Amino acid sequence: MRCCCSTAALRTHHVFTFSHSISSTRRLLSKPPAAASYSSNATLNLAADPHRPLSFQYGPSLRGGRVPEPQSSPPCSGADDDGGGGSYFDRASFSRVYDVAALRVPAEECSALERRLRGHLLNWPRVRNVARVPGDDVDPEIRRMLRDAEGDGGSRLNSLAARADGRPDDEKMTLSPVLYREKLVKEFNFRGFLKFRNLAKMSRPKKKKVKSKDGVHGVGKSIGKNEFAVIEVIREGDEEEGEDLSGLLGDDFKGLRWRGPTRLLLLDQRHAKKPVAELPEAIKAALNYDPHQSKPSAFELVQCQLTLSYNYWQMNELLEALLPDGMIIPSGFEMVGHIAHLNLRDEHLSYKKLIAQVVLDKNKPKIQTVVNKTDAIQNDYRTMQLEVLAGNHSLVTTVVENGIRFQVDLGTVYWNSKLATERQRLIDSFTSSDIVCDVFSGVGPIAISAAKKVKYVFANDLNPNAVEYLERNVVLNKLERKVEVFNMDGRRFIIAMLANQHPYSITQVVMNLPNDAVEFLDAFRGIVKKKPRPGCSPPKIHVYGFSKAQNPEYDFRERINMALCEEVVDLEMHKVRLVAPGKWMLCASFVLPQVAASNI
Ligand SMILES: C[S@@+](CC[C@H](N)C(=O)[O-])C[C@H]1O[C@@H](n2cnc3c(N)ncnc32)[C@H](O)[C@@H]1O
């Protein structure tokens, strides 16, 4: 009998959490050094190494358990696309088998018992300690009909009704499928037949299967990609010969005698393979264990095998096992839409495809592509040199930021999700009457978000690809009437906007060109050539820059003053983030000084 715990049905146990942060995780247990580079089909066999020191660790680990024998290995290797980890490693080599004992109990009593036996049950991360026994559950409609028929039916039907309800059955009988059918035919109406899923198979009970030598019941059906823990009953408490009722009760039913719906309560690993007499009193009490009583209890102790497959293990556990000793485990990644963006160190480069495959496997379906930056950003357009390491090769993705959708081609335009909070801070300072000029807009994260709030936006970028995506994003967010797009050099754009328009009709200017927007501030000098309209005042400028100075704010302010040839008063300085040790990204906001701007 095979029961599986699917992802959907699993409950995380918070008492012992083994998912330590993957950042800078080093090997906890020593492991023979791996070859400098991996073979094209590296396999793992950690548990098989008898010399490997095993420090105590509660819960499963890749160093514990047994590697399943090929024939008994469940079909849940985690291979959901190509049957292995690309050609970089063998996913099946991550399957581990553990012996556990379980109480097979009537389904109805399971929750109460689970509460009572707390502390004696398996408490492994992500593995639920209650397993469903497939095939022995009864359709609720059938159950209702059986209950209705219980009073006037014969003793067999009473017994059947009791079993369907999960109540203990006093009468020890072997149910004949043919008798079942006759009773059911008499009792059920036309609708009832339709709902009885296994009706077609009722009159042809399956031939008895030959039991394998080790007592393992027939292997279950194949397991989907989300299933990572499979429990298999290898020895039942009171195994008895009888008719195989799987024809009557469904293919999943592998038991010989149907006792109604039951559940398996997985016991703590230390109770594996122990006889009832050696179990703690609480468990014995739950089993109604009486060494002098011959009558079997409705509860029974069964021995099981719990198989954890590749899908069970977390990214850091897999990488720890795959990478050589002492190597720092890659610490996460940045996500841009469906793309995971790694920043691998030099030491990781020989393992880049293997790392990428694990990242992809463990983050599907959210992540479809894994890339690594091959070079520092150097060009004017601030685009990254990316190498696709795993998944599909599309670098065009959709990012949702603060509820707004942006299409981005990471290969040809700039995008940085880390600036989302800063962008929001800036937009929060705008009002609905503002007219905004975004000088270096990229694909429009500031311009488009601002357009949702302000009166009008002029957005510009030098990169034609960025402008193409900017236009797409304007349409995507239905803002065509509020955004005008330009493709020119920032300096020309500033002059075009402020000198040629009515002076000071623009109220906010955003200059987000990290390397170094201050250089463009000279464009504002003497820019106002016409007399401003009454009531108009100079725009507020938000300029971004970097500083490695000891006093970054002072340094940045000085550069602004020099660029404008004017001392700026009331300048608000905001430290955005530390981009490298000792290097700050800053945003300075100030009203353009009239004297600097005016040429009249
Ligand atoms: C750091 S990105 C900022 C983009 C956008 N503000 C954002 O937050 O995603 C700088 C942008 O300036 C553009 N750029 C570079 N030099 C420029 C120039 N001389 N004039 C106008 N835009 C320029 C680049 O193409 C790039 O899209």
Other beta carbons within 10 angstroms of residue 95's beta carbon come to: 26
* Strand, helix or coil for residue 17: coil
Two tokens, residue 7: 């992802």
Q: Scan for tokens 């030491």, then name that residue.
A: 347
Looking from the CA of residue 415, the nearest atom of ligand 1 is: 9
Looking at the predicted structure, is the pLDDT value of residue 281 above 50?
Answer: yes
Quote the pLDDT of residue 5. Answer: 44
Closest by alpha carbon to 537, among 506, 510, 504, 568? 504
Q: Which of 589, 581, 584 is nearest to 545 (CA)?
A: 584
**Averaged pLDDT for residues 65-73:** 72
CA distances from 373 to 209, 419, 517, 579 (A): 57, 18, 24, 16
pLDDT band, residue 65 (cuts 50/70/90): confident
Selected residue with higher pLDDT from 295 and 272: 272
Mean pLDDT for the stretch of residues 546-562 = 95
What pLDDT was estimated at residue 503?
59
User: Is residue 69 very low, low, confident or very high in pLDDT (cuts 50, 70, 90)?
Assistant: confident
Supply the pLDDT for residue 189: 54
Assess whether pLDDT exceeds 80 at residue 86.
Answer: no
User: Quick check: bond before 516 cis, omega within 30?
Assistant: yes
CA atoms of 522 and 511, how far apart (whole Å): 13
pLDDT at 262: 83
541: CA distance to ligand 1 center in Å? 16
DSSP secondary structure letter of residue 524: G
- Angle (nearest 5°) at CA 156 between 155 and 161: 95
What residues form DSSP beta bridges with 121? 267
Is 60 exceeded by the pLDDT of residue 233? Answer: yes
238-262 per-position pLDDT tens digit: 444 444 555 555 554 455 555 677 8
| The two structure tokens encoding residue 223 | 């397991």
Name the residue at shortest CA distance from atom 16 of ligand 1.
380
- Its sign, for the CA torsion 298, 299, 300, 306, is positive
Q: Which fold has domain 334-394?
A: GMP Synthetase; Chain A, domain 3 (3.30.300)
pLDDT the model gives residue 50: 40
Most confident of 10-24, 61-75, 381-395: 381-395
Ligand 1 centre distance from Cα of residue 416 (Å): 12
Question: Which residue minimizes the CA distance to atom 12 of ligand 1?
Answer: 440
In this prediction, what percent of the chain has a pLDDT beyond 70? Answer: 64
How far CA 93 is from CA of 45, 71, 96, 232, 357, in Å, comes to 7, 14, 8, 19, 15
Residue 111 contacts by C-beta under 8 Å, 6 or more apart in sequence?
Answer: none
- ipTM (interface pTM): 0.99
Residue with tokens 């929001």, as numbered in its chain: 424
Which of 334, 382, 440 best tests ligand 1's pocket when mutated (most atoms within 8 Å of CB)?
Answer: 440
The larger pLDDT score, comparing residue 395 to residue 376, is at 395
Phi/psi region, residue 126 (left: phi>0; alpha: psi -120 to 50; beta: rest), is: left
Among 378, 407, 414, the mutation site with the greatest number of ligand 1 atoms within 8 A of its Cβ is 414
CB of 319 closer than 8 Å to CB of 308:
no
Q: What is the C-alpha separation between 500 and 527, in angstroms, rounded?
A: 9
Backbone angles phi, psi at 573, to 5 degrees: -110, 135
Most distant pair of Cα atoms in the chain: their distance: 110
* Res. 216: pLDDT tops 60: no
Half-sphere exposure of 266 (CA within 13 A, CB side): 26
Is residue 223 scored above 50 in pLDDT?
no
Quote the ligand 1 centre to 515 CA distance (angstroms).
Answer: 9
At residue 390, does pLDDT exceed 80?
Answer: yes
Residue from 428, 427, 491 nearest 457 by CA: 427
Alpha helices in 242-364 (DSSP H): 246-249, 281-286, 315-322, 352-363
8-17, 189-198, 357-366: segment of lowest average pLDDT: 8-17
Domain residue ranges of the chain, discontinuous segments joined by +: 1-133+231-242+262-329, 334-394, 412-597
Could you tell me the pLDDT band of residue 366, with boundaries at 50, 70 and 90?
very high
* Beta carbons within 8 Å of 567's beta carbon, 6+ residues apart: 561, 593
415-472: pLDDT as tens digits: 998 999 999 999 999 999 999 999 999 999 999 999 999 999 999 999 999 999 999 9
With both helix axes pointing from N to C terminus, report the angle between 140-150 and 177-187 in degrees, rounded to the nearest 10: 80
Inter-residue contact 60 to 231 (CB < 8 Å): no
Residue-wise pLDDT for 308-350, tens only, equals 999 999 999 999 999 998 899 987 899 999 999 998 999 999 9
Candidate from 66-70, 102-106, 466-470, 478-482 with smallest mean pLDDT: 66-70
Q: Are strands 396-401 and 404-409 parallel, antiparallel or unpaired?
A: antiparallel
pLDDT tens digits, one per residue of 130-189: 988 766 666 667 767 766 766 655 566 666 666 666 665 554 445 556 666 666 666 655
Q: How far is the CA of 466 from the centre of ligand 1 (A)?
A: 8
Q: Are 102 and 131 in contact (CB under 8 A)?
A: yes
Question: What burial letters (b/e) apply to 40-71, b meaning 16+ CB within 10 Å?
Answer: eebebebbeeeeeeeeeeebbbbbebebbeee
Per-residue pLDDT, 299: 77
Q: How far apart are CA 507 and CA 500, in angstroms?
A: 15
Alpha carbons 513 and 546: distance in angstroms, whole number: 10
Query: Do 334-394 and 412-597 come out as alike in CATH topology?
Result: no
Higher pLDDT, 474 or 154: 474
Query: What one-character DSSP code corresponds to residue 83?
Result: S
Confidence of residue 300 (pLDDT cuts 50, 70, 90): confident
Looking at residues 35-54, what average pLDDT do you find? 41
From the centroid of its chain, how far is CA 79?
17
Q: 583 pLDDT exceeds 90?
A: yes
- Quick one: pLDDT at residue 88? 78
Q: Considering only CA atoms, which residue is closest to atom 4 of ligand 1? A: 442
CA distance 374 to 388: 10
CATH of domain 412-597: 3.40.50.150
Q: Looking at residues 394-418, what average pLDDT do you find?
A: 93
Mean pLDDT of the residues in the chain: 76
Atom of ligand 1 nearest to the CA of 416: 9
Cis peptide before 464 (omega within 30 of 0): no
Q: Which of 77, 336, 30, 437 is nearest to 230 (CA)?
A: 77
| Residue 502 pLDDT | 62
Mean pLDDT of 116-130: 89
Of the two residues 109 and 187, the one the predictor is more confident about is 109
pLDDT at 9: 33
Higher pLDDT: 15 or 290? It is: 290
Count of residues making up the chain: 600
**So what's the pLDDT on residue 482?**
96
Q: pLDDT tier at 10 (50, 70, 90 boundaries)?
A: very low
Q: Rounded CA gap, 5 and 359, in Å?
A: 23
Nearest to 334 by CA among 409, 449, 419, 441: 419
| Residues whose beta carbon lies within 6 Å of some atom of ligand 1 | 380-382, 414-416, 419, 440-442, 445-446, 461-463, 466, 489-490, 512-514
What does the alpha-carbon distance between residue 360 and residue 365 come to, in Å, rounded to a whole number? 8
Of 513, 521, 576, 579, which is best to mutate to test ligand 1, by the most ligand atoms within 8 angstroms of its C-beta? 513
> Is residue 540 scored above 80 in pLDDT?
yes
Atom of ligand 1 nearest to the CA of 466: 27
pLDDT at 548 over 80: yes
The residue whose C-alpha atom lies closest to atom 8 belonging to ligand 1 is 445
Report phi then psi at 405, rounded to 5: -95, 135
Residue 507 has pLDDT above 60, yes or no: yes
CB of 326 closer than 8 Å to CB of 27: yes
Beta sheet of 339-342, edge-to-edge order: 334-336, 339-342, 369-375, 385-391
Interatomic CA distance for residues 396 and 377, integer angstroms: 19
Residue among 461, 495, 521, 577 to mutate when testing ligand 1 (max atoms within 8 A of CB): 461
Going by DSSP bridges, is the β-strand pair 339-342/300-308 parallel, antiparallel, or unpaired? unpaired
Please state the φ and ψ torsions of residue 227, each to the nearest 5 degrees: -95, 125
> For residue 232, what pLDDT is reported?
83
Q: Residue 51 Cα, ligand 1 centroid: separation in angstroms? A: 57
